[in-house]
């Protein structure tokens, strides 16, 4: 089997890395003896039979049953139909079955038929619309069984939705910002559009948005680890760079990372693409490891900003573009539920509606108490974010600055320190005591802020949940089709935790309340206001620190040998530094930085200078400065230059081949 080694420094060239992934996918499949769809497509690309028909037929059955994430599988099936339809490895009856499944799929939420599919999240929107567009283009005169309409009709319905999605994300970024789970899905579908859309506007804009995704990934990654704050992230991908969803893309794109999952659909799309290659400008700057790199960015659009971007919230498809950013906010929840009456979605009624009704009940209970709340209590809400990343050749620290402090969270990953693929540290308030699944891995958000290599996270966990009804669980609910608990059911555990795998570091020292560690030439120091205890299985079933108490302050400072001298000397300076904790407040005399002050209210200051936490541009880093809402990006590194202008549209690159 092709060995999957994690590369922390660039290796290979682009073409060889694509080939290596395909060989890895095939070899992994052969070793396990279990068929998988991506491995079979890799065989088609390499012309290496026989393929495992059972694996492909299992994928067809999954789609025909309309399970959640069936749209991800349809994207793979379309790659077969567009790119390998004449392969001698595909039996005619199998090809006919693939075509029937694609022409019988339910492509949008208003179409007839039962299902358990999610249509409303950002990545699924593109998936359904891109799939419908490409399926309709491929079979323009065929009747699609689910709607009775022609492929040409489906293509015409999907095209404006695809273009609207592309144009909006180009200007404002992603609600699911820097998701190391769902950028995988976006890359898969955008690559399909680049490769197969006959409409040049669609194909070109998809390629340009891919460039922006890879650029963002490049400036927020540390040696193949997407160690950024994430709008949506699941364990184990947030505890190991080896297991997160973008590492395989980075290994192909610029030669750092690991392939991980041999059935990585987006890596397959990248490795087999005929029309898209990661821009050489982005590949070059991703391999650039300057002594210091600061990246500020703003992503996402509040639902209140819809009109400013020409979006009509009474239009179902346009409203859906902003649903993740506030569909259950106090001023929107009743309108959102009314809009949902036009859906034909079994999953919505099983998963979203029961939770939405519980949240609405809490708003009404607060109003009855005389304390109405006009904000957003939706734990799944992905409001706009101002994000900061500081990187050196030895570590990276990243934070969603002052993001929704004290509110309930869901899958948002607020801050992370990264020194290697396994040397990862972050703190959080845990959700359910009994459930470490993806739905409840975040409890209440901290107020977190960062200046260069210093970060402070303040936690204030209420003692009692909000009033209101419980979520009514439908009998069909189960597995990942389970509605979230309502605000009145929050467990509100009286502790915070930090992921800190000691085995991943070369040295670990505890002194003066600090836990300090070294990985290579990079250093980290972590301190909690409340006393901590090590727990072998207390954080995502792995090792970390547990601090009892509803109010707590966590401080993180990074260092490196080149700037801070030997580890032992740095440890002495950190241990001797003055720290003054208050009630949800701290003053820290940070060695090499200055006096850092931060509290639940007020600014972050360093040596009495305010550090801006909000109002960031779309990008502000050494390679690109672009205002928020821009349709034009100029990305430069050395003699490389990439211009992306979505208004024209134009994609132009110059520099060394």
User: Residues 353-367: pLDDT tens digits?
Assistant: 999 999 999 999 999
pLDDT tens-digit profile of 211-250? 999 999 999 999 999 999 999 998 888 899 998 999 999 9
Residue carrying structure tokens 């396994």: 422
pLDDT at 65: 97
Q: Cα dihedral sign for 486, 490, 496, 498?
A: negative
pLDDT at residue 438 greater than cutoff 60: no
pLDDT at residue 38 greater than cutoff 60: yes
pLDDT at 435: 58
Residues 8, 246: contact at Cβ < 8 Å? Answer: no
Q: Which residue has the higher pLDDT, 538 or 58?
A: 58
pLDDT at 352: 96
pLDDT tens-digit profile of 85-132? 999 999 999 999 999 999 999 999 999 999 999 999 999 999 999 999
pLDDT at residue 305 greater than cutoff 90: yes
Token pair recorded at residue 575: 């241990």
Query: Could you please report the per-residue DSSP string of 337-365?
Result: HHHGGG---HHIIIIIHHHHHHHHHHHHH
Q: Indicate the domain borders of the chain.
A: 14-288, 303-369, 388-611, 619-654
| The dihedral formed by the CA atoms of 548, 550, 553 and 554, expressed in degrees to the nearest 10 | 50
pLDDT at 479: 85
pLDDT at residue 502 greater than cutoff 80: yes
The gap from C-alpha 601 to its chain's centroid, in whole angstroms, comes to 29
Over pLDDT 90: what percentage of the chain?
Answer: 92
Tell me whether the omega of the peptide bond preceding residue 50 falls within 30 degrees of 0, making it cis. yes
C-alpha 259/C-alpha 464 separation (Å) is 44
Phi, psi of 247 (to 5 degrees): -60, -40
Residues 246, 29: contact at Cβ < 8 Å? Answer: no
Residues 477, 350: contact at Cβ < 8 Å? Answer: yes
pLDDT at 433: 61
Q: Cα dihedral sign for 540, 546, 552, 557?
A: negative
pLDDT at 2: 64
pLDDT at residue 34 greater than cutoff 70: no
Helix axes 182-196, 70-83, angle to 10 degrees: 30
pLDDT at residue 556 greater than cutoff 70: yes
Indicate the length of the chain as a whole number: 657
- E strands within 204-320? 293-299
pLDDT tens-digit profile of 307-353? 999 999 999 999 999 999 999 999 999 999 999 999 999 999 999 99
pLDDT tens-digit profile of 403-417? 999 999 989 999 999
Per the prediction, the chain carries an average pLDDT of 95
pLDDT at residue 439 greater than cutoff 60: no
CA distances from 246 to 250, 393, 501, 533, 655 (A): 6, 20, 21, 33, 26
pLDDT at 235: 83
pLDDT at 503: 97
pLDDT at residue 280 greater than cutoff 70: yes
């Amino acid at each position: 089997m092709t060995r999957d080694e994690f590369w922390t420094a660039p290796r290979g060239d682009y073409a060889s890395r694509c080939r290596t992934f395909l060989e890895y996918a095939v070899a992994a499949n052969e070793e396990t003896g279990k068929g998988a769809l991506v491995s079979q497509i890799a065989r088609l690309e390499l012309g290496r039979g026989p393929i495992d028909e059972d694996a492909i037929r299992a994928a067809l059955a999954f789609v025909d049953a309309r399970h959640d994430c069936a749209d991800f599988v349809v994207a793979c099936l379309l790659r077969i139909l567009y790119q390998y339809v004449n392969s001698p490895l595909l039996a005619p009856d199998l090809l006919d079955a693939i075509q029937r499944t694609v022409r019988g799929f339910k492509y949008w939420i208003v179409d007839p038929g039962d299902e358990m599919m999610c249509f409303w999240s950002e990545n699924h929107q593109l998936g359904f619309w891109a799939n419908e567009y490409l399926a309709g283009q491929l079979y323009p005169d065929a009747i699609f069984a689910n709607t009775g309409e022609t492929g040409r009709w489906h293509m015409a319905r999907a095209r404006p939705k695809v273009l609207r999605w592309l144009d909006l994300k180009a200007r404002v970024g992603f609600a699911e910002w820097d998701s190391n789970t769902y950028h995988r899905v976006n890359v898969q579908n955008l690559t399909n559009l680049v490769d197969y859309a006959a409409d040049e506007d669609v194909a070109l804009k998809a390629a340009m948005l891919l460039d922006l995704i890879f650029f963002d990934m490049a400036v927020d990654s540390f040696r193949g680890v997407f160690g950024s704050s994430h709008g949506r992230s699941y364990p184990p991908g947030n505890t190991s760079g080896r297991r997160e969803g973008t590492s395989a893309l980075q290994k192909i794109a610029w030669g750092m990372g690991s392939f991980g999952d041999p059935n990585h659909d987006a890596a397959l799309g990248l490795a087999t693409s005929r029309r898209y290659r990661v821009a050489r400008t982005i590949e070059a700057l991703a391999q650039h490891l300057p002594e210091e790199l600061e990246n500020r960015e703003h992503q996402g659009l509040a639902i209140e900003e819809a009109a400013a971007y020409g979006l009509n919230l009474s239009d179902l498809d346009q409203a859906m573009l902003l649903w993740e950013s506030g569909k259950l906010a106090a001023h929107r929840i009743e309108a959102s539920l009314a809009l949902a009456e036009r859906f034909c979605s079994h999953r919505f009624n099983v998963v979203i509606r029961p939770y939405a009704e519980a949240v609405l009940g809490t708003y009404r209970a607060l109003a009855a108490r005389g304390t109405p709340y006009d904000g957003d209590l939706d734990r799944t809400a992905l409001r706009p974010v101002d994000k900061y990343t500081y990187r050196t050749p030895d570590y990276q620290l990243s934070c969603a600055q002052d993001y929704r402090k004290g509110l309930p969270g869901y899958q948002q990953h607020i801050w992370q320190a990264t020194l290697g693929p396994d040397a990862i540290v972050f703190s959080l308030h845990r959700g359910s005591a009994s459930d470490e699944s993806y739905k409840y891995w975040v409890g209440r958000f901290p107020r977190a802020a960062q200046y260069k290599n210093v970060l402070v996270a303040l936690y204030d966990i209420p003692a009692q949940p909000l009033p209101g009804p419980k979520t009514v669980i439908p009998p069909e609910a189960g597995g990942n089709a389970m509605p979230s608990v309502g605000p009145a059911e929050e467990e509100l555990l009286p502790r915070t935790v930090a992921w800190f795998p000691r085995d991943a570091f070369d040295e670990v020292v505890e002194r003066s309340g600090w836990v300090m560690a070294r990985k290579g030439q990079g250093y980290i120091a972590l301190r909690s206001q409340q006393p901590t205890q090590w727990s072998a299985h207390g954080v995502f079933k792995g090792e970390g620190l547990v601090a009892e108490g509803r109010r707590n302050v966590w401080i993180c400072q990074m260092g490196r040998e080149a700037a801070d001298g030997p580890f032992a000397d740095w440890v002495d300076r950190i241990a001797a530094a003055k720290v003054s904790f208050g009630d949800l407040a701290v003053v820290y005399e940070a060695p090499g930085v200055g006096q850092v002050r931060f509290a639940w209210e007020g600014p972050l200051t360093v040596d009495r200078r305010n550090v801006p936490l909000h109002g960031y541009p779309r990008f502000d880093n050494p390679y690109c400065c672009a205002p928020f809402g821009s349709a034009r990006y100029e990305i430069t590194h050395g003699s490389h230059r990439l211009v992306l202008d979505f208004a024209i549209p134009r994609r132009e690159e110059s520099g060394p081949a």
